Amino acid sequence: MKRNPALASVLQRLAPGRLSRSGFLGQDERSLEEIVAADLADLDAAGVGVAQIADLLDELHQRADEGMEAPQDACGGRATVEIIEAMGRIPCPFACGFRTHKAVVHARAGTVDILFTPLHAHLIREHGFFQGRGSDFRLEPRDLVALYVACKS
């Protein structure tokens, strides 16, 4: 079976060195389709949708931005967030035209402690992509569900 040329170019952009020094796939040996399907199944099993997770990440990012690199309360005091800005912008590796500034947001709520980037909300909302296992910025769906529950309950 012939491979979709668009998918081949996406895989090149997900690889180390193109858009990210370490890439988006980590050491995950599953196909991109398998990675996405497994993560979406985990969210579905928890009864939480990609839009809910992406909206939460956008909300936390916005709150962190307001702090200008100082810790901020979020989710009505049930979480704290802090942003570390980096220079430049990064495009979506799926080549859909989306671009965002480079930054890392540190979010803590209860026992959940995660790092995410402004690109994550888009990758999850539009592409169902949480990154591959072993990726520097892989977000585990179960951790995001726990963060969602901590912030929304």
Q: Say what the alpha-carbon torsion angle 146, 150, 152, 153 is, to the nearest 10 degrees.
A: 110
Token pair for 106: 């540190």
Instruction: Please tell me the predicted confidence (pLDDT) of residue 1.
Output: 44
User: Would the CA dihedral through 115, 121, 126, 128 be positive or negative?
Assistant: positive
Determine the structural domain holding residue 124 and report its residue range: 5-152
pLDDT at 32: 94
C-beta atoms surrounding 21 within 10 Å: 8
Q: Which of 74, 92, 93 is nearest to 83 (CA)?
A: 74
Which of 91, 56, 84, 44 is closest to 68 using CA atoms? 84
Map residue 123 onto helix, strand or coil. Answer: helix
Residue spans of the chain under pLDDT 50: 1
The pLDDT value given to residue 8: 86
Distance from C-alpha of 153 to C-alpha of 151, rounded to nearest angstrom: 6
pTM to 2 decimal places: 0.92
CA distances from 104 to 60, 86, 147 (A): 11, 8, 17
Predicted local confidence at residue 4, as pLDDT:
66
- CB contact at 8 A, 128 and 42: no
The total number of structural domains in the chain stands at 1
Q: Where are the beta strands (DSSP E) in 29-138?
A: 72-74, 79-91, 99-109, 112-116
Instruction: Measure the CA–CA gap between 54 and 49, rounded to whole angstroms.
Output: 9
